[in-house]
Amino acid sequence: MQYRRLGKSGLKVSELSLGSWVTFHNQVDYDKAKNLMTLAYDAGVNFFDNAEAYASGQAEVIMGKVLRDTNWGRDSYIVSSKVFWGGQKATQRGLSRKHVRDACDAALKRLGVDYLDLYYCHRPDPTTPVEETVRAMHELIMQGKVLYWGTSEWSAQQIFEAHGIAREFHLTPPTMEQPQYNMFHRERFEAEYARVFSELGYGATIWSPLASGILSGKYNVGIPPESRMTLKGYEWLRGELESPEGQMRLMKVRELEKLTRELGMSMAQMAIAFCLKNRNVSSVILGASRPEQLMETLKATELVTRMDDKVLDVIEGILQNKPIDPNAPM
Protein backbone atom coordinates (compact mmCIF):
# COMPACT_ATOMS: atom_id res chain seq x y z
CA MET A 1 0.00 0.00 0.00
CA GLN A 2 1.20 3.47 -0.88
CA TYR A 3 0.23 6.64 0.99
CA ARG A 4 -0.54 10.05 -0.43
CA ARG A 5 -0.82 13.47 1.18
CA LEU A 6 -4.36 14.71 1.59
CA GLY A 7 -3.89 17.73 -0.61
CA LYS A 8 -1.34 20.12 0.88
CA SER A 9 -1.99 18.92 4.44
CA GLY A 10 0.51 16.73 6.24
CA LEU A 11 -1.99 13.87 6.62
CA LYS A 12 -1.00 10.65 4.82
CA VAL A 13 -3.95 8.60 3.59
CA SER A 14 -3.75 5.15 2.03
CA GLU A 15 -4.27 5.43 -1.71
CA LEU A 16 -7.05 2.87 -1.34
CA SER A 17 -9.61 3.21 1.46
CA LEU A 18 -12.77 1.40 2.54
CA GLY A 19 -16.22 2.96 2.47
CA SER A 20 -19.54 1.86 3.92
CA TRP A 21 -22.17 3.38 1.61
CA VAL A 22 -24.80 0.83 0.53
CA THR A 23 -22.91 -2.12 2.03
CA PHE A 24 -22.77 -1.68 5.83
CA HIS A 25 -26.09 -2.70 7.42
CA ASN A 26 -27.81 -3.16 4.04
CA GLN A 27 -25.58 -5.94 2.70
CA VAL A 28 -22.99 -6.37 5.42
CA ASP A 29 -23.68 -7.16 9.08
CA TYR A 30 -21.23 -6.68 11.95
CA ASP A 31 -19.31 -9.93 11.44
CA LYS A 32 -18.86 -9.36 7.72
CA ALA A 33 -17.90 -5.73 8.31
CA LYS A 34 -15.27 -6.76 10.83
CA ASN A 35 -13.84 -9.24 8.35
CA LEU A 36 -13.71 -6.65 5.57
CA MET A 37 -12.23 -3.89 7.72
CA THR A 38 -9.60 -6.24 9.16
CA LEU A 39 -8.66 -7.44 5.69
CA ALA A 40 -8.30 -3.83 4.55
CA TYR A 41 -6.37 -2.72 7.64
CA ASP A 42 -3.96 -5.64 7.36
CA ALA A 43 -3.36 -4.67 3.72
CA GLY A 44 -2.33 -1.17 4.79
CA VAL A 45 -5.62 0.71 4.47
CA ASN A 46 -5.74 3.45 7.09
CA PHE A 47 -8.85 5.39 6.01
CA PHE A 48 -12.45 4.29 6.66
CA ASP A 49 -15.24 6.45 5.26
CA ASN A 50 -18.75 6.94 6.62
CA ALA A 51 -21.66 9.38 6.86
CA GLU A 52 -24.68 10.08 9.02
CA ALA A 53 -26.91 9.27 6.04
CA TYR A 54 -25.54 5.77 5.45
CA ALA A 55 -28.24 3.36 6.60
CA SER A 56 -29.60 6.21 8.77
CA GLY A 57 -26.54 6.08 11.00
CA GLN A 58 -26.39 2.31 11.36
CA ALA A 59 -23.31 2.09 9.11
CA GLU A 60 -21.49 4.23 11.67
CA VAL A 61 -22.74 2.05 14.52
CA ILE A 62 -21.34 -1.07 12.86
CA MET A 63 -18.05 0.58 11.96
CA GLY A 64 -17.69 1.97 15.46
CA LYS A 65 -18.19 -1.44 17.05
CA VAL A 66 -15.55 -2.93 14.76
CA LEU A 67 -13.08 -0.17 15.68
CA ARG A 68 -13.65 -0.82 19.37
CA ASP A 69 -13.48 -4.61 19.13
CA THR A 70 -10.35 -4.72 16.98
CA ASN A 71 -8.64 -2.37 19.42
CA TRP A 72 -6.49 -0.76 16.76
CA GLY A 73 -4.51 2.21 17.98
CA ARG A 74 -6.45 5.41 17.39
CA ASP A 75 -3.29 6.90 15.93
CA SER A 76 -3.15 4.17 13.26
CA TYR A 77 -6.36 4.88 11.32
CA ILE A 78 -8.41 7.73 9.88
CA VAL A 79 -12.20 7.79 10.15
CA SER A 80 -14.60 10.21 8.50
CA SER A 81 -18.22 11.21 8.59
CA LYS A 82 -20.40 13.52 6.54
CA VAL A 83 -23.20 15.90 7.52
CA PHE A 84 -26.36 16.82 5.64
CA TRP A 85 -29.07 14.14 5.85
CA GLY A 86 -29.59 13.33 9.53
CA GLY A 87 -33.35 12.89 9.68
CA GLN A 88 -36.70 14.15 8.44
CA LYS A 89 -37.23 17.09 10.79
CA ALA A 90 -36.22 20.60 9.73
CA THR A 91 -33.38 20.80 12.24
CA GLN A 92 -31.99 17.39 11.26
CA ARG A 93 -30.98 18.29 7.73
CA GLY A 94 -28.66 20.71 5.95
CA LEU A 95 -25.61 22.65 7.04
CA SER A 96 -26.94 25.02 9.69
CA ARG A 97 -24.72 25.64 12.70
CA LYS A 98 -27.14 23.63 14.83
CA HIS A 99 -27.27 20.57 12.60
CA VAL A 100 -23.52 20.58 11.93
CA ARG A 101 -22.86 20.54 15.66
CA ASP A 102 -25.59 18.02 16.55
CA ALA A 103 -24.61 15.72 13.68
CA CYS A 104 -20.95 15.74 14.69
CA ASP A 105 -21.78 14.82 18.29
CA ALA A 106 -24.08 12.03 17.09
CA ALA A 107 -21.43 10.67 14.70
CA LEU A 108 -18.82 10.65 17.47
CA LYS A 109 -21.21 8.69 19.67
CA ARG A 110 -22.11 6.15 16.98
CA LEU A 111 -18.49 5.63 15.95
CA GLY A 112 -17.28 5.58 19.56
CA VAL A 113 -14.36 7.94 18.90
CA ASP A 114 -13.27 11.18 20.56
CA TYR A 115 -12.72 13.01 17.29
CA LEU A 116 -13.27 12.70 13.54
CA ASP A 117 -10.19 12.88 11.37
CA LEU A 118 -12.22 14.10 8.39
CA TYR A 119 -15.65 15.74 8.36
CA TYR A 120 -17.40 16.54 5.10
CA CYS A 121 -20.35 18.73 4.15
CA HIS A 122 -22.14 16.00 2.22
CA ARG A 123 -23.75 18.41 -0.24
CA PRO A 124 -23.99 22.21 -0.57
CA ASP A 125 -26.92 23.75 1.31
CA PRO A 126 -28.54 26.65 -0.60
CA THR A 127 -30.69 27.52 2.44
CA THR A 128 -27.75 28.18 4.79
CA PRO A 129 -25.21 30.99 4.36
CA VAL A 130 -21.79 29.54 3.55
CA GLU A 131 -20.26 31.73 6.26
CA GLU A 132 -22.46 30.02 8.88
CA THR A 133 -21.26 26.58 7.79
CA VAL A 134 -17.61 27.64 7.66
CA ARG A 135 -17.88 29.07 11.19
CA ALA A 136 -19.59 25.89 12.45
CA MET A 137 -16.82 23.70 11.06
CA HIS A 138 -14.15 26.02 12.44
CA GLU A 139 -15.72 25.76 15.91
CA LEU A 140 -15.64 21.95 15.76
CA ILE A 141 -11.96 22.06 14.89
CA MET A 142 -11.24 24.52 17.73
CA GLN A 143 -13.08 22.15 20.10
CA GLY A 144 -10.91 19.22 18.98
CA LYS A 145 -13.88 17.26 17.63
CA VAL A 146 -12.67 17.43 14.01
CA LEU A 147 -9.15 17.59 12.54
CA TYR A 148 -9.87 18.46 8.89
CA TRP A 149 -13.10 19.47 7.19
CA GLY A 150 -14.09 19.37 3.58
CA THR A 151 -16.85 19.26 1.03
CA SER A 152 -18.57 16.64 -1.10
CA GLU A 153 -20.02 17.37 -4.53
CA TRP A 154 -19.66 21.14 -4.13
CA SER A 155 -19.03 23.20 -7.23
CA ALA A 156 -15.65 24.85 -7.67
CA GLN A 157 -17.32 28.24 -7.22
CA GLN A 158 -18.79 27.16 -3.86
CA ILE A 159 -15.43 25.83 -2.70
CA PHE A 160 -13.69 29.09 -3.58
CA GLU A 161 -16.42 31.01 -1.76
CA ALA A 162 -15.86 28.96 1.41
CA HIS A 163 -12.11 29.56 1.17
CA GLY A 164 -12.61 33.27 0.67
CA ILE A 165 -14.80 33.50 3.78
CA ALA A 166 -12.29 31.51 5.82
CA ARG A 167 -9.46 33.81 4.79
CA GLU A 168 -11.46 36.98 5.41
CA PHE A 169 -12.49 36.03 8.94
CA HIS A 170 -9.38 34.00 9.87
CA LEU A 171 -11.29 30.70 10.07
CA THR A 172 -10.17 27.17 9.20
CA PRO A 173 -10.73 26.59 5.47
CA PRO A 174 -11.86 23.30 3.94
CA THR A 175 -8.99 21.19 2.69
CA MET A 176 -10.52 18.29 0.76
CA GLU A 177 -13.38 17.34 -1.56
CA GLN A 178 -15.13 13.99 -1.95
CA PRO A 179 -16.51 13.81 -5.49
CA GLN A 180 -17.62 10.96 -7.66
CA TYR A 181 -14.83 10.13 -10.08
CA ASN A 182 -14.50 7.25 -12.49
CA MET A 183 -14.09 6.52 -16.18
CA PHE A 184 -17.62 7.76 -16.87
CA HIS A 185 -17.69 10.74 -14.47
CA ARG A 186 -14.72 12.96 -15.33
CA GLU A 187 -15.84 16.47 -16.26
CA ARG A 188 -16.09 17.96 -12.77
CA PHE A 189 -12.96 16.30 -11.40
CA GLU A 190 -10.64 16.77 -14.36
CA ALA A 191 -11.90 20.14 -15.65
CA GLU A 192 -14.01 22.12 -13.18
CA TYR A 193 -11.78 21.31 -10.18
CA ALA A 194 -8.50 22.09 -11.98
CA ARG A 195 -8.13 25.46 -10.19
CA VAL A 196 -9.29 23.96 -6.90
CA PHE A 197 -6.34 21.57 -7.00
CA SER A 198 -3.74 23.95 -8.41
CA GLU A 199 -4.62 27.10 -6.45
CA LEU A 200 -6.10 25.81 -3.20
CA GLY A 201 -4.11 22.59 -2.88
CA TYR A 202 -7.24 20.55 -2.25
CA GLY A 203 -7.07 16.82 -1.62
CA ALA A 204 -9.63 14.39 -3.03
CA THR A 205 -11.04 11.17 -1.62
CA ILE A 206 -13.12 9.90 -4.51
CA TRP A 207 -16.22 7.71 -4.37
CA SER A 208 -17.75 5.25 -6.83
CA PRO A 209 -14.59 4.41 -8.82
CA LEU A 210 -16.55 1.51 -10.34
CA ALA A 211 -19.58 3.67 -11.25
CA SER A 212 -21.86 1.76 -8.86
CA GLY A 213 -20.49 -1.55 -10.11
CA ILE A 214 -20.89 -0.97 -13.84
CA LEU A 215 -17.11 -0.80 -14.27
CA SER A 216 -16.66 -4.10 -12.47
CA GLY A 217 -18.06 -5.88 -15.52
CA LYS A 218 -20.57 -7.82 -13.43
CA TYR A 219 -23.55 -6.25 -15.21
CA ASN A 220 -22.36 -7.14 -18.70
CA VAL A 221 -24.71 -10.11 -18.93
CA GLY A 222 -27.54 -8.97 -16.66
CA ILE A 223 -28.16 -7.91 -13.07
CA PRO A 224 -26.86 -10.50 -10.56
CA PRO A 225 -29.08 -11.33 -7.57
CA GLU A 226 -28.11 -9.60 -4.31
CA SER A 227 -26.24 -6.84 -6.16
CA ARG A 228 -26.86 -3.27 -4.99
CA MET A 229 -29.19 -2.69 -7.94
CA THR A 230 -31.63 -5.20 -6.46
CA LEU A 231 -31.76 -3.48 -3.05
CA LYS A 232 -34.88 -1.63 -1.93
CA GLY A 233 -34.28 2.09 -2.12
CA TYR A 234 -31.67 1.80 -4.86
CA GLU A 235 -34.05 1.32 -7.77
CA TRP A 236 -32.65 4.52 -9.26
CA LEU A 237 -29.35 2.75 -9.89
CA ARG A 238 -31.11 0.08 -11.91
CA GLY A 239 -32.95 2.79 -13.81
CA GLU A 240 -29.65 4.43 -14.75
CA LEU A 241 -28.23 1.09 -15.92
CA GLU A 242 -31.26 0.31 -18.06
CA SER A 243 -31.37 3.77 -19.63
CA PRO A 244 -29.97 4.32 -23.15
CA GLU A 245 -26.90 6.01 -21.63
CA GLY A 246 -26.43 3.09 -19.24
CA GLN A 247 -26.59 0.59 -22.08
CA MET A 248 -24.04 2.62 -24.03
CA ARG A 249 -21.72 2.49 -21.04
CA LEU A 250 -22.10 -1.29 -20.85
CA MET A 251 -20.99 -1.52 -24.47
CA LYS A 252 -17.84 0.43 -23.60
CA VAL A 253 -17.17 -1.79 -20.57
CA ARG A 254 -17.32 -4.85 -22.81
CA GLU A 255 -14.71 -3.21 -25.07
CA LEU A 256 -12.55 -2.30 -22.08
CA GLU A 257 -12.67 -5.89 -20.84
CA LYS A 258 -10.87 -7.02 -23.96
CA LEU A 259 -8.01 -4.72 -22.99
CA THR A 260 -7.94 -5.98 -19.40
CA ARG A 261 -7.35 -9.52 -20.62
CA GLU A 262 -4.31 -8.33 -22.55
CA LEU A 263 -3.02 -6.51 -19.46
CA GLY A 264 -3.63 -9.43 -17.09
CA MET A 265 -6.02 -7.60 -14.76
CA SER A 266 -9.71 -7.51 -14.04
CA MET A 267 -12.09 -4.79 -15.20
CA ALA A 268 -12.47 -3.53 -11.62
CA GLN A 269 -8.71 -3.36 -11.13
CA MET A 270 -8.23 -1.34 -14.31
CA ALA A 271 -11.01 1.09 -13.36
CA ILE A 272 -9.39 1.73 -9.98
CA ALA A 273 -5.88 1.98 -11.45
CA PHE A 274 -7.24 4.55 -13.90
CA CYS A 275 -8.31 6.72 -10.94
CA LEU A 276 -4.99 6.23 -9.16
CA LYS A 277 -3.15 7.52 -12.23
CA ASN A 278 -4.61 10.96 -11.55
CA ARG A 279 -2.18 12.85 -9.29
CA ASN A 280 -5.02 14.86 -7.72
CA VAL A 281 -6.55 11.70 -6.22
CA SER A 282 -5.50 11.31 -2.58
CA SER A 283 -7.50 8.12 -1.96
CA VAL A 284 -9.90 5.89 -3.89
CA ILE A 285 -12.77 4.74 -1.65
CA LEU A 286 -13.59 1.09 -2.26
CA GLY A 287 -16.86 -0.62 -1.51
CA ALA A 288 -17.22 -4.36 -1.01
CA SER A 289 -19.75 -6.81 0.36
CA ARG A 290 -17.50 -9.88 0.12
CA PRO A 291 -13.83 -10.48 1.01
CA GLU A 292 -12.98 -11.73 -2.46
CA GLN A 293 -14.25 -8.46 -3.95
CA LEU A 294 -12.06 -6.44 -1.63
CA MET A 295 -9.00 -8.62 -2.18
CA GLU A 296 -9.38 -8.16 -5.94
CA THR A 297 -9.66 -4.38 -5.81
CA LEU A 298 -6.86 -3.96 -3.25
CA LYS A 299 -4.47 -5.49 -5.79
CA ALA A 300 -5.07 -2.53 -8.11
CA THR A 301 -2.19 -0.68 -6.44
CA GLU A 302 0.20 -3.27 -7.84
CA LEU A 303 -1.10 -2.80 -11.39
CA VAL A 304 -0.92 0.97 -11.85
CA THR A 305 2.48 0.72 -13.55
CA ARG A 306 0.88 -1.27 -16.38
CA MET A 307 -1.26 1.76 -17.21
CA ASP A 308 1.31 3.49 -19.40
CA ASP A 309 0.58 6.21 -21.96
CA LYS A 310 -0.08 3.69 -24.70
CA VAL A 311 -2.69 1.90 -22.60
CA LEU A 312 -4.28 5.19 -21.56
CA ASP A 313 -4.56 6.20 -25.23
CA VAL A 314 -6.42 2.97 -26.00
CA ILE A 315 -8.76 3.60 -23.05
CA GLU A 316 -9.42 7.15 -24.22
CA GLY A 317 -10.22 5.80 -27.66
CA ILE A 318 -12.91 3.58 -26.16
CA LEU A 319 -14.32 6.08 -23.67
CA GLN A 320 -14.36 9.12 -25.96
CA ASN A 321 -15.13 11.40 -23.01
CA LYS A 322 -11.90 13.15 -22.06
CA PRO A 323 -12.70 16.61 -20.69
CA ILE A 324 -11.10 19.66 -22.23
CA ASP A 325 -8.12 20.79 -20.20
CA PRO A 326 -8.98 24.32 -18.97
CA ASN A 327 -5.26 25.12 -18.70
CA ALA A 328 -4.44 24.07 -22.24
CA PRO A 329 -3.25 26.89 -24.56
CA MET A 330 -5.91 28.26 -26.85
Q: Is 181 a catalytic residue?
A: no
Q: Is 305:264 a contact under the CB 8 Å cutoff?
A: no
Q: Name the catalytic one among 30, 41, 54, 193.
A: 54
Residues in the chain, total? 330
Q: Is 120:153 a contact under the CB 8 Å cutoff?
A: no
The per-residue pLDDT for 232 is 75
Residues 6+ apart with CB under 8 A from 197: 204, 280
At 284 the three-state DSSP class reads strand
In the chain (330 residues long), the average pLDDT of successive 10-residue segments reads: 97 98 93 98 98 97 98 97 97 98 98 98 98 98 98 98 98 98 97 97 97 86 69 74 85 95 96 97 96 97 95 97 75
In 12-30, which positions are buried (b, 16+ CB within 10 angstroms) versus exposed (e)?
ebbbbbbbbbbbbbbbbee
The per-residue pLDDT for 330 is 54
The per-residue pLDDT for 228 is 66
- Rounded to two decimals, the pTM is 0.93
Q: Domains in the chain and their CATH numbers?
A: 3-319 (3.20.20.100)
Q: Is 66:32 a contact under the CB 8 Å cutoff?
A: no
